[in-house]
Structure 1
Amino acid sequence: MADGKTVGYLQLAHNEWDPAAKASRTKVLYSFGREDQLDVAGIRRLVAALCRLLEQGEALVATAPAELRFTESKALGGAFALDGLWHALGIDAVMRRMLVTTRMEPRVERILFALVANRALAPSSKLGATRWIEHDVVIDGLDVPVVDESCYRAMDWLIDAEPELGRIVFDNTADLLNLEVDLLFFDTISTYFEAEDADAPVGRDERGMPVADASAAAKQAGFRTLGKSKDSRPDLPQIVVGMAVTRDGIPVRCWSWPGNTADSALIRQVKHDMRDWSLSRIVWVADRGFASAANRRYLQRAGGHYILGEKLRGGTAEADAALSRQGRYRHVADNLQVKEVRLSSDLAEDRFVICFNPDAAIRDAAIRARIVALLEEMINGSDTLSRDQRAELRGVISTKPGLNRYLRTTPGGLLRVDKKAIDAEANLDGKFLLRCSDPKPSAEDIALGYKQLLEVERGWRDMKSVIDMRPVYHRVEARIRAHVLLCWLALLLIRIAETKTGQTWAAIRDELQRLHLGTFTGPAGSFRQRTELTAGQKKILAALGLPEPRRIFEATPATP
């Protein structure tokens, strides 16, 4: 230039071989103009446009300096969302406050959250969970590797903290979701262990927790013991797990008992344990396993009420009288019809509601027809058998309750299909009977309230299939109890996420787990940067009331 300055021009050029001249020729593809007047924004747009032609990883390598290496990627989204809900419920603050009075390390709260997140996102054993925490997921505040022993110490502390923690978590959950807790649904399941022997008998306190200084006479069955199995595995030791759920499907508390504990006594302990909680007037809803007279009296203490299922077969005199009353059904919702019957005051003070599902009645009739056909096939030609042979066949059928229900034996010892039993069963097709102590709700509300007990059953299904409560990789009672509590906390966070987003947890988890945090390392140091948020991820975080995670998590300069 005239002033003596040197001006550079930038061009994108490509060398091509000229076979005639047998030399390389330079071909200018694009001219960027003067170096001091470079259109940087335009170059960025050009590079971005070219990168769209490449895979994401190839574009990163192509645009990064040669020394910058992409060294690690961990899932961020799922744990970030769960941690946000954990904080919104105040679980972290409660635990830290309780830990101050102990000699436990402060990161116990972080370890317990990580174990809960593991149940919700990638259920595994505690050994598998520690590997998952270290290599596969980003847990804020837990960058140092976690060893198995730290997990076990944290779980042991959780057992002692659960009574106070459970009450505060319930209060905060009710505030967060603006829950109207007027119905509490309660139900139990059993979960078995692949173990040959049941646990040895132990002494227990009023909470059912083991104590060491009990006499031999005062000892009760061990925790993992034989009992009435709901998993069709009566040959294996088991425990019983109970859960109280709101009408919105939120599991507010969880319990575990020895495997031989009868259902009839459990609901009384549940009500006793929740007596100090800030609950409004409560109507307890449970199935027919909890409908004993003792349970009914207990649930009505302090003005409480209940909606309980009643046995249709071999039930009480009240149930038989209710089923015999005539009346017209009223349509409630979908395929549900209801009819309330009034009994004389000397027979029962409760209200009885008969519910009828026409579709279920068709299914019940079809199932019974198949059973009767099988029974007829088994006894066909039995008149020609000897008395001993017929007795043997009768014994075989007696081991099959479905078949035995429709079998009768004549005075002469002949085997026949019981037509009266079939007619009696047909009268019950598609029906279930409810017993309610509350005079206020309508028959329709009673039926719909009981139908919501399905929320508990959905919780059990998710406990088994989503959170993988079984198999349990523990033998010590305290660790098994802690494992159940971790599963409950995971289900609590899952239900809150589903309630606030209107999506299933499977859809939420799949979308959020695509949000990753990448680690990049170069001569100047390293930094961690998240992937870009998708529209689905932004929508979920907004529905949960959570901020977007920061773009750059940390930048660490290289050590001189």
Structure 2
Amino acid sequence: MYIRKKKNTSGSISIQIIKKIKGKSKVIESIGCSKDPDKIERLLKKAHKRIKELEPTLFDSVKQEEQKLKFLPISNEQVIPIGDELFFGAIFDRIFNKKTIFQSVYKANDKHELFKALVISRILYPGSKLYLSDYLFYFKKKEISDEAIYRLVDSLYKDEVKQRIEEAVYKDTLAKVGGKIAVCFYDVTTLFFESESEDDLRRIGFSKEGKLARPQIQLGLFTTLQGYPLSYEVYHGKKYEGHTLLEALLNFQKKFKLKNKPIVVADRGMLNDANIAFLENNGYKYILGAKIKMLPSGIKDKIINLTFIDDNVTHEINIHKTITYKQDKQKHSLDISQRLILTYSSQRAKKDKYLREKALDKLKAKIEYSTNLTKNDLKLSHYAKYLDIVDDCKVEFRLNHNKVLQDSKLDGLKGYLTNDTTLSHKDIIEHYQNLWHIEKAFRISKTDLQIRPIHHRLEHRIKAHILISFVAYAIYKEFEIKTREIKKEYQISYKILRDLIKHVFAIKFDDGEIFPIKLSEVQQKFYDALHS
């Protein structure tokens, strides 16, 4: 290609890019025309620049030919998957450098890489250790023995190793939220086992998954407002969830030496005097779900007298009371002040009424058709309070209409208790409603990461399994947040997304050079969103 200056009949000069094709000159592009010498000079410079864009250099041409020659003898073994490293490995490497976890440990680099494989395989091949073998075979062309896996798993729950892992995740989360955690969310879930045998950790207790006859453990988790993980604790399966907050918060505070204590948000399952006393005595602000129907009658009377003209109205009642709690086997009392924020929903009111009437119908049927019914048969029913009991042995069904009427006056109401005097009603309600992030964290862990059922038997391996899943969730959560809009745009499931990542390839040449194959449109969009 070359540049031609063509004089026009008008006296102007046209600047054109010409290419000879089969001996004939062909105009490839017209850059412009002018009579002004300065402008003509600028057009010439533009033409030279444009030629460089249109015509590769000799070096480029040679390189392209070399690449073509390279690809001719490629075998299947040289086509390697790199999606794990490209998408999840990059996040792992940012959180953990090779000196973070296994310091001064024999074969520390090998342990680091195997730990990384355990975490990423939990995302791409969720399941038991057998799926780790699938991951290593597909992505790394490696085979590994069960003994090597268990040796690593056993080393993970050593205090110093576990602490380094948790600190790295916490620091990364802290950086993502701007260096300060103003609000944290706490909740508990249950994880069941396939085995039916119990021990000190695996206990049969109240199951949130409906696995009533299965041993379980409980997992307490702290997250940020966005759902990023902060800290976790593991408890035996029979522990009452309301008794976990105090220990979890103490350990959270101790592990990370919190300078600025965040507002603690938890559901009403954590609402007991011991928890409130701990939060108050340790300078924590809190927002807890209120059990309105269990409040003292004086406060309930105040609530009943409030007027909610529509669903946007909120009311506040100030509560001053003395609570009692045990500490070091001694009884203590504490004067506290709280704000009770109340909201009303017409939809919730309809639901409350429907559930109550449905339950009462079941109670009536149970009493009518059961001849030897006792109080114990009804003690687990929340709605048994509407029954009048004739004596201690037998129950004669007598519906207390006054109790039903009083409860109906509280239909549609929801309450939030806080000791923070600065937050608006809107902020308090929004903070509490953001508990869905932690519920989603549990859902992701149980479905996408398949954290349960747990197949391990030994306590330290069970806890190491939770630790690996905790790190996997931290990586998954960053991926999920950064690529949320792209996932929504293409409306693809996580299963399909996993397959897209598994099918990102590169060519590994004999000289060791790795040449990534161009990503598809959707793969590229996910990659750009993740690395932006």
TM-score norm. by structure 2 comes to: 0.73
Change (3 A) 1:80 1:278: farther
Deviation at 1:112, TM superposition (A): 1.4
CA distance in 2, matches of 1:157, 1:198: 24
1:408-431 deviation line (CA, Å, top 9, x unaligned): 456896424442333233233232
Q: Alignment partner for residue 536 of structure 1, among 516, 522, 525?
A: 522
Residues 197, 540 of structure 1: CA spacing in aligned structure 2 closer, same or farther, 3 A cutoff?
same
Mark the CA change 1:325 to 1:271 in structure 2 (over 3 Å): closer, same or farther: farther
- State percent identity of aligned pairs: 21
Which deviates the most, 447-456 or 257-266? 257-266
Residues of 1 paired with 2:460 and 2:93: CA distance? 26
Which letter does structure 2 place at the counterpart of 1:235? A
Give deviations 1:465-512, integer Å, cap 9, x for gaps.
Answer: 111111111101111001111111111111112222334582893474
AA aligned opposite 2:148: S
* C-alpha distance in 1 between matches for 2:453 and 2:240: 23
CA distance in 1, matches of 2:376, 2:196: 28
Do structure 1's residue 362 and structure 2's residue 365 form an aligned pair? no
Determine the C-alpha separation between the residues in 2 that align with 1:520 and 1:325.
75
Q: Tell me the equivalent position of 1:213.
A: none
Aligned to 2:36: none
Tell me the amino acid that sits aligned with residue 150 of structure 1: A
Correspondence for 2:247: 269
Pairing 1:223–2:201 present: yes
Instruction: Sort the Cα spacing of 1:431 and 1:149 in 2 relative to 1 into closer, same or farther, 3 A.
Output: farther
Relative to 1, partners in 2 of residues 1:97 and 1:358: Cα closer, same or farther, differing over 3 Å?
same
Q: 1:397 to 1:273 in 2, by over 3 A?
A: closer
Distance in 2 of aligned mates of 1:111 and 1:266: 33
Report if the CA contact (8 A) 2:304-2:409 is conserved: no
After the TM superposition, which residues 362-511 of structure 1 pair with which residues of structure 2 at under 5 Å, given as runs? 362-379=350-367, 390=371, 392-393=372-373, 398=378, 401=381, 404-409=384-389, 414-503=396-485, 506=494, 509-510=497-498
Q: Give the Cα–Cα distance (whole angstroms) in 2 for the partners of residues 509 and 134 of structure 1.
A: 20
1:527 CA drift (Å): 7.7
| 1:538 counterpart letter in structure 2 | Q
Alignment TM-score, normalising by the size of structure 1: 0.70
**2: CA distance between counterparts of 1:516 and 1:70?**
14
Counterpart of 1:167 in structure 2 is 167
Distance in 2 of aligned mates of 1:84 and 1:431? 47
Instruction: Give the direction of change, closer, same or farther, for the CA distance of 1:76–1:445 in structure 2 (3 Å limit).
Output: same
**Contact 1:250/1:495 (8 A) holds in 2:** yes
Which residue number corresponds to residue 244 of structure 1? 222
How far, CA to CA, are the matches of 1:510 and 1:539 in structure 2? 15
Structure with bigger helix share is 2
Q: Distance in 2 between matches of 1:393 and 1:261?
A: 30
CA distance in structure 2 between the partners assigned to 1:279 and 1:512 by the alignment: 43
| Aligned counterparts of 2:336 and 2:299: Cα–Cα separation in 1 | 10
Q: Which residue pairs with 2:127 in the alignment?
A: 124
Runs of 5+ unmatched residues, structure 1: 1-31, 35-62, 200-221, 383-388, 547-560
| Aligned-partner residue type, residue 347 of structure 2 | D
The CA deviation string for residues 266-304 of structure 1, in whole angstroms up to 9 with x for no partner, is: 212222222243453411011122222221122234532
Q: Which residue of 1 aligns with 2:143?
A: 145
Residue correspondences, number: 442
| SS of aligned partner of 1:107 | helix
Question: Are 1:342 and 2:318 matched, yes or no?
Answer: yes
CA root-mean-square deviation:
3.4
- The Cα of 1:449 is off from its aligned counterpart by 0.7
SS of the equivalent of 1:513 reads: helix
Query: Which runs of 5 or more structure 2 residues have no equivalent in the other structure?
Result: 1-20, 24-69, 323-334, 488-492
Distance verdict in 2 for CA 1:190–1:319, change over 3 Å? farther
The alpha-carbon distance between structure 1 residues 402 and 540, as it changes in their structure 2 partners (threshold 3 A), is same
Contact preservation (8 Å) 2:118, 2:468: yes
Contact 2:225 2:437 in 1 (8 A): yes
The letter for the 2-side match of 1:437 is N
Partner of 2:294: 314
- What amino acid is aligned across from residue 457 of structure 1 in structure 2? E
The CA deviation string for residues 27-84 of structure 1, in whole angstroms up to 9 with x for no partner, is xxxxx999xxxxxxxxxxxxxxxxxxxxxxxxxxxx975x654347664324421111
Counterpart contact for 1:120–1:466, Cα < 8 Å:
yes
Distance 1:304 1:465, change over 3 A: same
The alpha-carbon distance between structure 1 residues 322 and 538, as it changes in their structure 2 partners (threshold 3 A), is farther
Which amino acid in the other structure matches residue 343 of structure 1?
Answer: I
Judge which range, 367-376 or 438-447, deviates more. 367-376
* 1:116 maps to amino acid: V
